[in-house]
Each structure stands twice: as C-alpha cells, then as structure tokens.
Amino acid sequence: MTPWTDRAGRFSLLKAAVLAGLCLPALLLALSAAQGTLVPAGSPGLLGARPITEAIHETGDWAIRFLLLSLAVTPLRRIANWPKLIMVRRMIGLAALFYALGHLFLYTWDLKFDVLKAALEIVQRFYLTIGFVALLGLVALGSTSTDAAIRRLGRNWGRLHRIVYAIGLLGAFHFFMQSKADVYEATLMAGLFALLMLYRVAHWRGFDLSSPLVLAGAAIIAGLATAGVEYAWYGLATGIPPGRVLAANLQFAFSIRPAWWVLAVGVAAACVAWARPYLGNRDSAPRGRRAERAAA
C-alpha cells in the first residue's frame, strides 16, 4: 500500500492531498537552502543570516504543528462525521516524527556533528532534555505504527500510544522555553493542545462531540486557558509585566492574541457540528476500535 492509496489499493485524493501538504514545508526549506547557496557570501538569503538556525526552528515548529494535527484527526472525524479522515492519522503522526528527527539532525549539523557536545548540551539544558524526551516518545510511537506492531501488541498498543498526550505537553513546554520572550506561537500551540484535550475529556465523560453547545463551551474554556497560560508565562519567565500582556488580549490594533485564534478554531468546529445535518452523510468506514486502529 502506497501513501496515496487506500487499503484496497485505490487512489485516495484525501491521502494524496495530505501527503503533498506534509511534504511541502520540507520542500520549501530545501528550496530556501538552495537559494541561500546562490547569494553572495554574507547575504541573508531566504533563511536569513543564520540559515541552519532558522531551519532548526522551522523543522521543530512543523513537528509540533503536525503532532497537534494528528491529535485533531479523531475529534474532527466525530465533529464532521468524516470516518475516512482516520486514514491520514498515521501519515500525519509519522510526518511529525520525521520533522522532529530533522530538527535534531540540523541541531547536530550546527554543532559540526560533534555528537558528544550535542549530548552534553541536551543533558545540561533542561529545555533540550524535554525536547529529546518528546522525540524519544515519537520514535516509540512511530516504530510501533505498523499493522504488524498493532497485531503484536494487541491492547497494549492503545496503552502505549496514549503517551502522545504527554508528548504533546512536553513539546509545548519545549516550544515555550526555546522561544524565550516571544512566545506568541508557543502560546497558540499550547492553546490548541488544550482545546484538543478538552474534546477528549468531553468524549470520555460522555458528552456528545456532535453538539454545537458542547463544542462552543470547550472553545470558551480553551480560549480563557490560553490567555491564562500566556499571562502566567510572562509573569514567571520574563520581566515583561504580565498585566500588559493580558490587557493586549482586549486590543486588536496591532495583533490578534493567541487566545482569540483558539476561540475562533473552537467556534469554527462548533459551526461545523451545527451545519453537519445539512451536509449529508459521509461514506461509511470500518467500525470498531480494532478496525479504527488498523485504518490509522
């Protein structure tokens, strides 16, 4: 089975489109790096004056973006009544792993492949330790994502893959710590992670994720939590008055703060659930927990 075909061997437009989207950031980075080799020495190029550092940040950013996107598949398929969406979850999760591995590779490249120095840096710098632990978790999930591993592990497969939630938390914390003063995107990723976790908690507690009211409630809670996380981070980790940051959430002259984007995403999900009865039924997909895992 190729990445662009379904389990029956038929071409899947959904899988092909997702595969192209997953490869696009890496392609753009490669093109930017190639462009950088063509500019005069000392010129910034498309990746800036420090292209490897910029590429390190870009691959790390895409790793956590794709990790969150993989976590969004299950709630979105319930909200939108789109069972076939489960076909791309494994692909997106593996993309998060590959970008994370690229993140580590470029970091060691920046250290001229001095593995001992890289190891010491990871041990001595707490935010690097957190990121490396998250990477090890992704490796564990990626290496057990095959159909053979699912059959071999049985119920333990599900238990193992629940560590993805801890990986998401570690990844968000690593993002915050390496971002230092400018934590705009780190806050956004943390807020989206909180929204996805609220969806799961709601489902586990028996709430219906097809209910627009449930989804709107999760959106409001996640938006407030995002503002609270941003306020707490600036209060604890920087010299910037956190009250000024909190007040900035009520001003739209310069930028829209992450809390509002998280709220907007949650409200959009509620709108999808509201419109679902008017969109018709999606094609059926294999049912049951075992079939769902096999399709992932």
Domain final residue pick, 179, 200, 219? 179
What pLDDT shows up at residue 296?
40
Rounded to whole angstroms, the Cα distance separating 246 from 228 reads 8
Domain final residue pick, 155, 179, 203? 179
On whether residue 8 sits in a domain, the answer given is no
What pLDDT shows up at residue 281?
53
What pLDDT shows up at residue 48?
56
Residues of the chain with pLDDT under 50: 38-45, 284-296
On whether residue 7 sits in a domain, the answer given is no
On whether residue 273 sits in a domain, the answer given is yes
Q: Does 256 share its domain with 175?
A: no
Domain final residue pick, 161, 179, 197? 179
The whole domain housing 59 covers: 53-179
* Residue of 211, 258, 243 whose CA lies nearest to 75: 211
Predicted TM-score (pTM) of the model is: 0.87
Sequence-distant (≥ 6) Cβ neighbours of residue 168 within 8 angstroms: 64, 67, 68, 71, 193, 196
Q: Does 89 share its domain with 112?
A: yes
Q: Does 62 share its domain with 174?
A: yes
Q: Does 101 share its domain with 188?
A: no
What pLDDT shows up at residue 233?
84
Q: Does 161 share its domain with 191?
A: no
What pLDDT shows up at residue 49?
59
